Amino acid sequence: MRRFMAAAGVAVALSFGLAACGSSSGNGGGGGASSTPTASTTSCTPSGMKSMLYKPGVLTVATDNPVYTPWFVSNTPTNGKGYESAVAYAIAKQLGFARNQVVWVHEPFTSAYGPGTKPFDFDINEVSYTPQRAQAVTFSSSYYDVQQSIVAMKGSPIITKHSPAQLKTYLYGDQIGTTGLTYITDRIQPTQQPKVFDTLAQAAAALEAGRIQALVTDTPTAQYMASAQMKGAVLVAQFPTTGEHFGLVFSKGNPLVSCVNKAIAALKANGTLSALQQKYLGIYLKFPTIKP
């Protein structure tokens, strides 16, 4: 999945401070060397994780710019509002970091899961786990299980005519590299070649202009598009759960993921993730389900 970017495409300056992306005294999330500590050989506390952090003493968290509701609020990751911002701070607290020890940096969506050492501890940016992406980076366990949904414009025939056979007859479009586009090609298998765009904003603009008939994205983003960003857009329905999930992204082999996975497991067990989903995503989860 890729988060929805406003169709106007206006670049919005980050309202939170960006940490320097140069060298640091941390290991930059490198992995693979036998001397690299792991969560099994050290305690999952700020002091115990010191050598695993990008910058000792702080948790460096990356996301894209701009960022949007319901994942963030007011393009301000530092305010702790929106599902992903709240999850990042909850993980930090579980690991023993104070709120002022969380440093946010900007990382473009496609760069987050590209190969190479990362200038952050983890990225939280609605990045779905795929085996292909996992060849270049390390993913955490799921912090949100994803369903895909169809977005169309009001009056489109797909709103009422979406049997599996009928779904194949429409012209779709989506952002390159997204799981939404993969869902279209692999699961819906339309008779017309989907149009591919560099950003979801471009796909949304094409939908508004009538150059495509539908696009597919995760349900919360689809509902946000339909309710707030695109006049006349409709969330048609969502598809059954396919096992897709969002994971935090780490440099390949970063041992910090073990501690973060323990934190995520604790937040699931104590009900924190469920409560945050109800708070920020609850209104996005009540839609009819159809089969592709």
| CB burial of residue 21 (10 Å; 0-12, 13-18, 19+) | middle
pTM attached to this predicted model: 0.73
266 near 259, Cβ under 8 Å? Answer: no
| Banded pLDDT at 11 (limits 50, 70, 90) | very low
CATH of domain 50-145+246-284: 3.40.190.10
Give domain limits for the chain. 50-145+246-284, 148-238
Q: Please state, as a whole number, how many other Cβ atoms lie within 10 Å of the Cβ of residue 94.
A: 19
What pLDDT score does 201 carry?
A: 84
pLDDT at residue 154 is higher than 70 = yes
| Banded pLDDT at 243 (limits 50, 70, 90) | confident
Residues 62-71 pLDDT 10s: 999 988 888 9
Mean pLDDT of the chain: 85
What pLDDT score does 40 carry?
A: 54
Task: Indicate if 148-238 has the same CATH topology as 50-145+246-284.
Answer: yes
Task: Tell me the CATH architecture of domain 148-238.
Answer: 3-Layer(aba) Sandwich (3.40)
pLDDT at residue 20 is higher than 70 = no
pLDDT at residue 238 is higher than 80 = yes
pLDDT at residue 111 is higher than 60 = yes
Q: What percent of the chain has pLDDT over 70?
A: 83
Higher pLDDT, 99 or 177: 99
Measured CA to CA, the distance from residue 100 to residue 272 in angstroms comes to 21
Window from 35-44, 135-144, 151-160, 237-246 with minimum mean pLDDT:
35-44
What pLDDT score does 138 carry?
A: 98
Find the mean pLDDT for residues 84-101.
98
Find the mean pLDDT for residues 176-181.
88
Residues 196-208 pLDDT 10s: 998 888 999 999 9
Measured CA to CA, the distance from residue 274 to residue 124 in angstroms comes to 17
